Amino acid sequence: MFPQKYLLLDSIKSKFKVEEYTLNTKELYNIDKKIEVYNIFVDPKNILLLSVLPKLETQISKAGSVDYNKLAKAMEKRTIEKNVNWKKIDFEQIKSNILSIGDINILSSEWELQNLPEKKTFKYQLVKKIDNDYYVSENCLTEFFTIANIQSPLISPYGTINIVEPKVTIRQMEEIFKERFPKFPFPLDIREQGGIRYLDINFSIHNYFSKEYLIKGNKAYQFWTLDGWWYNHSLSEYRGIDRFVYISGKGIVGGSYDFYFRKFNILKTLLWDNIINEKVMIAEELK
């Protein structure tokens, strides 16, 4: 088993541009916690995205039909939430496992050459210094995105933030998918997925450009990811930040983490409502 690897925030900030944002989960998931998002611009066109997710302890409820209002009240009672996303750590015990700037450059280069959903990972934890103490993230998701304007009919690779491709909403894609593959559930429909990959049909896993709007005078671009719910009994981190909002120069400033929060008493019908309506959290700093 490989030792835990760490990313030291102060070191990263000394070499790379870093944009930090805070997302509140209350409106989207009815859990009043925060997510800390770090956009590490390894260069102007590539972002190493770190999302520090809240640690939660829950009592998992049995499957069944639950009224929305009843669910909200039940979740407030049943969910035991940790107050922090970080825990204090002895720096001397971890310093030999901290990635160097060279390691981060190599990691980013390999990811840029071949960006796959399976590369999204929790194996790197972020470390930050507050006063004279060091703290490590409880759960840090690492992903990689490339910014590139690729004109249609060329198709941008997975993990590309492409703001010039034709817009397609999730609703539009659902209609197209059902028309072409009437015997198969729409991959994003978490209510119907059985946890088994489709073997009889092929489609590309892709980050689709959906819409654009203004956030405090900044033009924001929203994307969603066409991928399935293939594994019922795992965390499914390969889905990552499955809907996200990008602002040029600021990075990824909003999004959703359905794969993570579905494990904590979030009913599938509510998750589907988030998905089909493309609901996202927006950075508190931009509200």
Domain ranges of the chain: 5-286
Is the pLDDT score of 63 beyond 50?
Answer: no
Can you say whether the dihedral through the CA atoms of 237, 12, 149, 221 is positive or negative? positive
pLDDT in tens, 104-162: 999 999 999 999 999 999 999 999 999 999 999 999 999 999 999 999 999 999 999 99
Residues 6+ positions from 55 with CB-CB distance below 8 Å? 82, 84, 85, 138, 139
- Decide: 141 and 157 in contact? Cβ < 8 Å: no
Question: How far is Cα 40 from Cα 54, in angstroms, rounded to an integer?
Answer: 20
| Beta-bridge partners for 43 | 46
CB neighbour list of residue 58: distance below 8 Å, 6 or more residues apart: 78, 79, 80, 263, 264, 265
- Where do the H-state alpha helices sit in 80-129? 91-94, 101-113
- In the predicted model, is pLDDT for residue 199 greater than 60? no
Residue 102 reports pLDDT greater than 50: yes
pLDDT at 82: 45
Specify the DSSP element, H or E, that contains 130. strand 124-130
pLDDT for the residue numbered 200: 57
83, pLDDT greater than 60: no
CB 39 within 8 A of CB 47: yes
Entry pTM: 0.88
Average pLDDT of the segment spanning 269-286: 97
The arithmetic mean of pLDDT across residues 12-38, rounded, is 97
